[in-house]
């Protein structure tokens, strides 16, 4: 240990949100001494916005994090209070789990899991500076004066970098409501010359359950048979709560319209770009003036609290307008607001500054994950966290990096999108972002990713055996179906696997989960579509296998315009496939690069410089 350092770890993770927890857990499980530094020990894994994990495409991400050996899935299974499998009216490729969680229990459970990991130390402190020497991060400086050495640093600061909260005309610096922002670290990152952006997100008001007339709403129950998030959770046996569905009225819209000039969104007070898929209620009224009513969901924030989250009513209106707006909803006439909604602006880093490992390209061993990279959502944060953790660990251990491609998972798609395109609004995952959606299912996330998690040391022996047993079980079912006439029968539109299940059980003598059976059914029934997709996957793999050497000079290629060269130089794609995904790179430019990849003259040129 260098004497100028007060403490020394192999990895320091800054921020203990959904990205930070996964990152720290991953490096610790890889056997590296890890410090997880957070501003407030009591708010680890705080769900800053809605009290739910998962949702369409987001549920896929959680399954992938879990398959890699992450912890979000198990924690959700442990504290979920209402589970639903979404999109079941379609094929299994787009089924996705969602769970309402007990917010407080989520924090407690996560902290418990982290504290159970012997290589992991949780520290309450504010990181204010990074020590960088020879293009590599060496340590972090804490506000209290300590300097903590690290071989790798993962920054996961969420909305805290220069956070600014807006609530009507009132604004104040904050990382979350009631918590101070992280200003000095934000300044540091800007001073390092990283391109930054300013994003905005919002949250709705919370109400007191006792002041709500529950008889006025439609009840939304959970599934009778909850679908767990984790491959390692056998069954969820907990009483579930319900959510309620309410609707705005003409009166709600009138209140908002008449006060629109007081919204910081419309008064010009907010400059950050907000997410289009999660607009504030005032945005919805303005952009869809013909829609007579908007759906809102009343979701409990936990079992031992009266706090109710009003999903769909995100707003930055002044508090008096928020109160009037809430009370215009039938059933909420006497509702008491516990916390008002607000909008928050924060700094993000342009993710095109990052390599596919989430390492900052120009500062070795410095990794960024989560909302700081321009994403939104707990799940989007978690999947980056685990990948940043894995790659920080691999870098320290001298192992090759782990880069997931677009055919391997939503996680790969998310990172590939971010590092190639950056984002100008908070990035959320959608299944439509996946070109190969049919192959990226929640039931096969383990097949795609668990071997990788096992290789890097995140999958323990128990979990690995369970995984192998499942693969064997599925192989037996497939084999049986194909050997018998059942596979042929299953191809007929009117025949479903449910009809065949009893026969399977009897003949094979094993219990196979319905989710697994549905996956096999899809493989057989829609073999043609899957084959079609497989063809495209192979095309992509071919483009991905055309590697562009790091020394390859884009400038000087005849026929490439200066703008194209600038874009290529900024991202420095590693493969021809990646180059093609950079916005503004035309097929013509690609074929030029493709030609020059093969030219010996070019190789000679590269050897020179």
Q: Which residues contact 206 (CB under 8 A, 6 or more apart)?
A: 301, 307, 308, 309, 310, 337, 338, 339
CA distance 173 to 14: 20
Greatest CA separation found in the chain? 78
Q: Which of 139, 564, 571, 590 binds another protein (CB under 8 A)?
A: 564
Residue 545 sits in the site that holds another protein (CB under 8 A): no
Q: Which of 4, 112, 295, 488 binds another protein (CB under 8 A)?
A: 295
For another protein, the closer CB: 24 or 442: 442
Closest approach, Cβ 473 to another protein, in A, equals 25
Residue 250 sits in the site that holds another protein (CB under 8 A): no
To which H or E segment does residue 14 belong? strand 7-14
Residue 555 sits in the site that holds another protein (CB under 8 A): yes
Residue 90 sits in the site that holds another protein (CB under 8 A): yes
Write phi, then psi, for 409 (nearest 5 degrees). 170, 165
Closest approach, Cβ 530 to another protein, in A, equals 9
Q: Which range binds another protein by CB under 8 A, 156-164, 184-192, 310-318, 334-342?
A: 310-318
Residue 57 sits in the site that holds another protein (CB under 8 A): yes
Scan residues 261-280 and list those touching another protein (CB under 8 A). 276-279
Closest approach, Cβ 438 to another protein, in A, equals 7
Residue 492 sits in the site that holds another protein (CB under 8 A): no
User: Is residue 536 within 8 Å of residue 437, measured between CB atoms?
Assistant: no
Residue 586 sits in the site that holds another protein (CB under 8 A): yes
Residue 80 sits in the site that holds another protein (CB under 8 A): no
Closest approach, Cβ 56 to another protein, in A, equals 6
For another protein, the closer CB: 210 or 287: 287
> Nearest-CA neighbor of 96 among 85, 81, 112?
85
Tokens of 203: 């949250």
Residue 411 sits in the site that holds another protein (CB under 8 A): no
Place of tokens 């919805």: 284
Residue 433 sits in the site that holds another protein (CB under 8 A): yes
For another protein, the closer CB: 8 or 534: 534
Strands in 353-432 per DSSP E: 366-368
Residue 242 sits in the site that holds another protein (CB under 8 A): no
Q: Which of 224, 493, 502, 509 binds another protein (CB under 8 A)?
A: 493
Per residue, the 3-state secondary structure of 503-555, as one string, reads HHHHHHCCCCCHHHHHHHHHHHHCHHHHHHHHHHHHHHHHHHHCECCCCCCCC
Residue 288 sits in the site that holds another protein (CB under 8 A): yes
CA distance 280 to 591: 44
Q: Which residues contact 585 (CB under 8 A, 6 or more apart)?
A: 564, 567, 568, 579
Residue 502 sits in the site that holds another protein (CB under 8 A): no
Q: Which of 558, 600, 604, 609 binds another protein (CB under 8 A)?
A: 558
Q: How far is CA 195 from CA 34, 190, 281, 373, 420, in A?
A: 28, 7, 31, 11, 14
Tokens of 455: 């290789």
Could you say which DSSP state residue 364 is in? B
For another protein, the closer CB: 146 or 433: 433
Q: Which residues contact 506 (CB under 8 A, 6 or more apart)?
A: none
Q: Which range binds another protein by CB under 8 A, 54-62, 229-237, 335-343, 459-467?
A: 54-62
Residue 579 sits in the site that holds another protein (CB under 8 A): no
- Report angle CA 11, 371, 47 to the nearest 5 degrees: 95
Residue 496 sits in the site that holds another protein (CB under 8 A): no
Q: Which of 529, 541, 569, 595 binds another protein (CB under 8 A)?
A: 529
Q: Which of 133, 304, 562, 607 binds another protein (CB under 8 A)?
A: 562
Place of tokens 């009037």: 324
Q: Which of 272, 312, 385, 426 binds another protein (CB under 8 A)?
A: 312
Residue 86 sits in the site that holds another protein (CB under 8 A): yes
Give the 3-state secondary structure of residue 135. Answer: coil
Q: Which range binds another protein by CB under 8 A, 382-390, 474-482, 540-548, 554-562?
A: 554-562
How many other β-carbons are positioned within 10 Å of the β-carbon of residue 90? Answer: 9
Q: Which residues contact 264 (CB under 8 A, 6 or more apart)?
A: 166, 168, 169, 171, 270, 316, 343
Q: CA end-to-end span of the chain, whole Å?
A: 38
CA distance 146 to 226: 47
Q: Which of 240, 306, 431, 447 binds another protein (CB under 8 A)?
A: 431
The residues binding another protein (CB under 8 A) are 55-57, 86-87, 89-91, 93-94, 98, 276-279, 283-284, 287-288, 291, 294-295, 297, 311-312, 314, 430-433, 437-438, 493, 526, 529, 532-533, 555-565, 583-584, 586-589
């Amino acid at each position: 240990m260098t004497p100028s350092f007060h403490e020394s770890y192999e990895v320091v993770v800054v921020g203990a949100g959904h990205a930070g927890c996964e990152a720290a857990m991953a490096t610790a499980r890889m056997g590296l001494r890890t410090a997880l530094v957070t501003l407030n020990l009591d708010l680890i894994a705080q769900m800053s916005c809605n009290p739910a994990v998962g949702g369409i495409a987001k549920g896929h991400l959680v399954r992938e994090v879990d398959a890699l050996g992450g912890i979000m899935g198990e924690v959700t299974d442990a504290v979920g209070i209402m589970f639903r499998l979404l999109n079941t009216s379609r094929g299994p490729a787009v089924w996705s789990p969602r769970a309402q969680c007990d917010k407080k229990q989520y924090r407690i459970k996560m902290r418990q899991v982290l504290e159970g990991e012997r290589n992991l130390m949780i520290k309450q402190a504010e990181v204010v500076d990074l020590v960088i020497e020879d293009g590599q991060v060496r340590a972090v400086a804490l506000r209290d004066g300590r300097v903590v050495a690290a071989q790798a640093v993962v920054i996961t600061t969420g909305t805290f970098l220069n956070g600014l909260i807006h609530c009507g005309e009132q604004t104040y610096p904050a990382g979350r409501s009631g918590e101070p922002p992280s200003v000095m670290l934000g300044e540091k990152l800007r001073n390092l010359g990283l391109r930054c952006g300013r994003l905005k997100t919002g949250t709705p008001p919370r109400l007191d359950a006792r002041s709500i007339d529950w008889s006025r709403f439609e009840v939304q129950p959970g599934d009778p048979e909850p679908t767990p998030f984790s491959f390692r959770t056998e069954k969820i046996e907990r009483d579930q709560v319900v959510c309620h569905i309410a609707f705005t009225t003409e009166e709600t819209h009138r209140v908002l319209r008449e006060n629109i000039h007081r919204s910081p969104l419309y008064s010009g007070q907010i400059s950050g770009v907000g997410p289009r898929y999660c607009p504030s209620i005032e945005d919805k009224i303005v952009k869809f003036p013909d829609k007579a009513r908007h759906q809102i969901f009343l979701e409990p924030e936990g079992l031992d609290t009266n706090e109710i989250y009003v999903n769909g009513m995100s707003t930055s209106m002044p508090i008096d307008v928020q109160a009037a707006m809430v009370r215009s909803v039938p059933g909420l006439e006497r509702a008491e607001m516990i916390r008002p909604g607000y909008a928050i602006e924060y700094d993000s880093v342009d993710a095109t500054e990052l390599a596919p490992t989430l390492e900052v390209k120009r500062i070795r061993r410095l990794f960024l994950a989560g909302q700081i990279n321009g994403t939104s959502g707990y799940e989007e944060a978690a999947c980056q966290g685990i990948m940043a953790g894995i790659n920080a660990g691999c870098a320290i251990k001298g192992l090759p990096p782990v880069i997931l491609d677009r055919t391997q998972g939503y996680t790969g798609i998310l990172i590939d999108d971010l590092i190639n395109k950056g984002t100008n609004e908070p990035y959320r995952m959608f299944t439509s972002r996946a070109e190969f959606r049919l192959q990226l299912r929640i039931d096969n996330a383990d097949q795609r990713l668990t071997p990788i998690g096992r290789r890097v040391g995140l999958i323990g022996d128990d979990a690995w055996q369970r995984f192998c047993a499942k693969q064997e079980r599925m192989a037996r079912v497939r084999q049986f179906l194909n050997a018998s006439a059942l596979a042929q029968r299953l191809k007929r539109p009117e025949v479903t696997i449910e009809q065949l299940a009893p026969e399977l059980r009897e003949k094979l003598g094993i219990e196979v989960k319905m989710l697994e059976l549905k996956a096999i059914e899809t493989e057989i029934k829609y073999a043609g579509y899957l084959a079609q997709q497989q063809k495209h996957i192979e095309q992509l793999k071919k483009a991905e296998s055309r590697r562009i050497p790091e020394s390859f000079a884009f400038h000087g290629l005849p026929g490439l315009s200066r703008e194209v060269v600038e874009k290529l130089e900024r991202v420095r794609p590693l493969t021809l496939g990646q180059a093609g995904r950079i916005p503004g790179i035309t097929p013509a430019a690609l074929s030029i690069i493709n030609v020059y990849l093969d030219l010996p003259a070019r190789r000679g040129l590269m050897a020179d410089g």
